[in-house]
């Protein structure tokens, strides 16, 4: 087995899932709390299923340097929502299915739309938050 160096990780995603109106409300609260604390890119709401995801969600995109702050904070503050955290190494299938970690419930991932190799380089993460609170 070839060892993969960690610098193959260009960035991370955390996908925050919600099921039904009550969990969507919770996900909204969580989203606001994250935006107030972390310099990351928060994606739009996906109330309809997209890509490999089998539950509505939104995405958090963040550089590797933010992992050590954001992920522990999510461990403590995810309000029982399911969260998928995966690296972006240019291999979407492997990143979502093999290299990922879950907080809370483990959901199905639909491998169909996930290519083995990224066709283009991952876009640079341009944060859209303005944190005012120390996590
Ligand atoms: Zn993702």
Q: For each of the chain's 135 residues, which pLDDT tens digit applies?
A: 789 999 999 999 999 999 999 999 999 999 999 999 999 999 999 999 999 999 999 999 999 999 999 999 999 999 999 999 999 999 999 999 999 999 999 999 999 888 899 877 777 899 999 999 998
**Fold adopted by 9-103:** Alpha-Beta Plaits (3.30.70)
72 bridge partner residues: none
Residue carrying the six token digits 């609170």: 133
Angle (deg, nearest 10), helices 67-77 and 20-35: 140
pTM: 0.94
pLDDT given for residue 73 in this prediction: 98
pLDDT given for residue 119 in this prediction: 75
- Cβ neighbours of residue 8 closer than 8 Å, sequence gap 6 or more: 89, 90
The answer to whether 14 and 100 are in contact (CB under 8 A) is no
- Residues with CB in 5 Å of ion ligand 1: 13
Burial grade of 124 (CB within 10 A; 0-12, 13-18, 19 or more): exposed
Q: CA-CA distance, 95 to 82, in Å (whole number)? A: 17
Where do the structural domains in the chain lie, given as residue ranges?
A: 9-103
Cα of 82 from ligand 1 centre, angstroms: 14
Cα of 20 from ligand 1 centre, angstroms: 21
């Amino acid at each position: 087995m070839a060892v993969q160096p960690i610098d193959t990780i260009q960035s991370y995603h955390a996908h925050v899932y919600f099921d039904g109106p009550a969990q969507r409300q919770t996900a909204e609260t969580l989203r606001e709390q994250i935006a107030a604390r972390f310099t990351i890119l928060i994606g739009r709401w996906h109330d309809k299923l997209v890509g490999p995801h089998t539950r509505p969600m939104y995405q958090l995109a963040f550089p590797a340097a933010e992992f050590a702050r954001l992920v522990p904070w999510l461990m403590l503050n995810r309000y029982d929502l399911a969260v998928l955290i995966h690296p972006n190494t240019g291999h979407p299938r492997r990143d979502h299915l093999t290299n990922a970690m879950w907080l809370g419930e483990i959901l199905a991932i639909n491998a169909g739309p996930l290519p083995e190799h990224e066709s283009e380089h991952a876009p640079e993460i341009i944060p859209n938050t303005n944190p005012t609170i120390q996590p």
